[in-house]
Amino acid sequence: MSSTRERLLTYLERSQERFGLYLLDSKGREVFSYNPDVVFPAASSVKVHLVAALLKKVEEGKLSLYQVHKLRDSEKVGGAGILKDLMEGTKFTLYDLAKLAIVISDNTASNILIDYVGFDYIREFLDNLGFKETKLVRKFHIDPTAPPVNFTTPREAALFLYKLWNLQVLSKPYRDILIDIMLNQQYNEKLPLLLPKNVKLAHKTGDISTAANDIGIGFILDENWKPSPYILTKSLQYMPVKNLFFIALYCDNITRKRFLVDFKFGKIACLSLELISELSQVEKV
């Protein structure tokens, strides 16, 4: 066992929270796993699966990303997002709502998308991909005091991202739409917290009272790469990718201040990146 692997395992084992981690390299090989098949609350990380299902329905010609939706007061829910504060009748395309659901984790936008996609379609979509433990069966923030019912496992979450990247979920144009949305995620206090500037994460976080998670595709870029000041949003087409990895990190039994847990996410991401880098170096020899 490498020293990095030992450090990561020790870090996870000594945590007072329960973690689950699944890490894959660019070829889909398991690099590290810890509680990979434990079922955790999915929280908002499952919004990635929701938007993927939306894009699948668009790909099939059943919906249009440019279909317009008028916001209704009855649709508004609390928690993350901005739609709850906007005027009834404000118009959004489904594309707008998809961006809001991922980039700022807007619960109202996510629930509207569920109405368009449908729970039955989402279930069939996940079943066809082989994800039996990943469940999206209730809207977001409908009853904040109710126990969670949307679940997944670290293994299934990371494998979903691997399949997404390898065009087993969506065709390339729609895959790239989803990844570009994820690259512009605004909640970056978990996995990306301590990563070097040449590593960009297309990811989605999730938080509920006693659980947290973050799942993503990590793009390792040329160390000399600098983003253009004239490009306002992150996009795959502007990134010279040298290597990539897939990571899903889940945590529950949280009883202390959230920023301490967020720091652990950042630390675990850095150790995971070290493992990926070590594997890459070995293969070059």
Quick one: average pLDDT of 88-102? 97
Quick one: average pLDDT of 157-169? 98
Task: State the residue range of the domain holding 40.
Answer: 3-284
Summarised one tens digit per residue, pLDDT across range 188-224 is 999 999 999 999 999 999 999 889 999 999 999 987 7
pLDDT of residue 232: 57
pLDDT band at 263 (very low <50, low <70, confident <90, very high): very high
Q: Per-residue pLDDT for 42 more than 90?
A: yes
Q: What is the CATH number of the domain that holds 36?
A: 3.40.710.10
The count of domains in the chain is 1
Please say whether the beta carbons of 250 and 19 come within 8 A. yes
Please say whether the beta carbons of 38 and 248 come within 8 A. no
pLDDT of residue 280: 74
Q: Per-residue pLDDT for 251 more than 90?
A: yes
The region of weakest confidence among 11-25, 45-59, 231-245, 251-265 is 231-245
Phi, psi of 141 (to 5 degrees): 60, 30
pLDDT of residue 146: 80
Higher pLDDT, 282 or 10: 10
Q: What percent of the chain has pLDDT over 90?
A: 83
pTM above threshold 0.95:
no
Q: Per-residue pLDDT for 282 more than 70?
A: no
Three-state DSSP class for residue 104: coil
Comparing CA positions, the residue from 215, 111, 88 lying closest to residue 161 is: 215
Q: What percent of the chain has pLDDT over 70?
A: 95
Q: In 104-187, which residue ranges form alpha helices assigned H by DSSP?
A: 107-117, 119-128, 154-165, 172-183
